[in-house]
Amino acid sequence: MSLFCKWNVLAAFAAGLALAALLGRAQGEGKTLREVLAAEKLPLDANTLHNLDAKISSGAELHDAEQFVTAYYVLDSTGQLNPPIFVDVYDRSAGRWKSGEIKAAVAKDESVDVDCFGSVLAIAAFPDSLVLETHINPSAGCELVLSRDLKLKTSLYGWMVGHFVDGGMSTIAARFISRRFIRRRLRFMIRRRERISPFSRTDRYGKCGYT
């Protein structure tokens, strides 16, 4: 836990770039789930995939050697991003699909509740969890941490900067630092030619997250 609390701004900046470079990618808007999966040459299981013929929107995908993951909203007549977020995972080794829904996702920013529903920008996979990054306004987002059975474990306001394994216990870590602050801090440090020092737990620009 102490290691997590000593992440610095440079690490946050680099991790943001690394997350953008993951295999997660945006979906084609207005396509049905069937069309998206057929384009990936994945088997279709109507017993598990209940949205095959629904048009989907504002989602992302993750491709790796072990799995294919897609998270998305179903388009409806309102044109809004209405819950739930649907998550479908194909296990390549088992040849099976599993599906889940995120019906509520609220994070805390100090004492304020933050609705985390927004476009899914990226998906990251870890041994014990999946993490969805959502975009809720031009300067903020959330990390939705799911268990491997696709249940929501927690919602974090901010973005993920690290994943640690300590004695077999996996930890998802998130820092809550504005992008504007990161840019300002980096410019200042470059001008001063100083190293960026780690923040402590008590730093007012960041705080420890979910363990």
Domain ranges (residues) in the chain:
4-192
Please spell the DSSP secondary structure of 99-139, one letter per residue. EEEE---EEEETTEEEE--SEEEEEEEETTEEEEEEEEETT
Residue 200: pLDDT band (50, 70, 90) is: very low
Whether residue 196 is predicted with pLDDT greater than 90 in this model: the reply is: no
Average pLDDT over residues 172-193: 56
46 dihedral zone (left: phi>0; alpha: psi -120 to 50; beta):
alpha
Give the β-pairing of 152-157 and 85-91. unpaired
Residue with token string 């504005």: 178
Average pLDDT over residues 15-29: 47
Beta carbons of 142 and 156 less than 8 angstroms apart: yes
In tens, the pLDDT along 77-129 reads: 888 889 999 999 999 999 999 999 999 999 988 788 999 999 999 999 998 89
What's the pTM? 0.70
Beta carbons of 69 and 130 less than 8 angstroms apart: yes
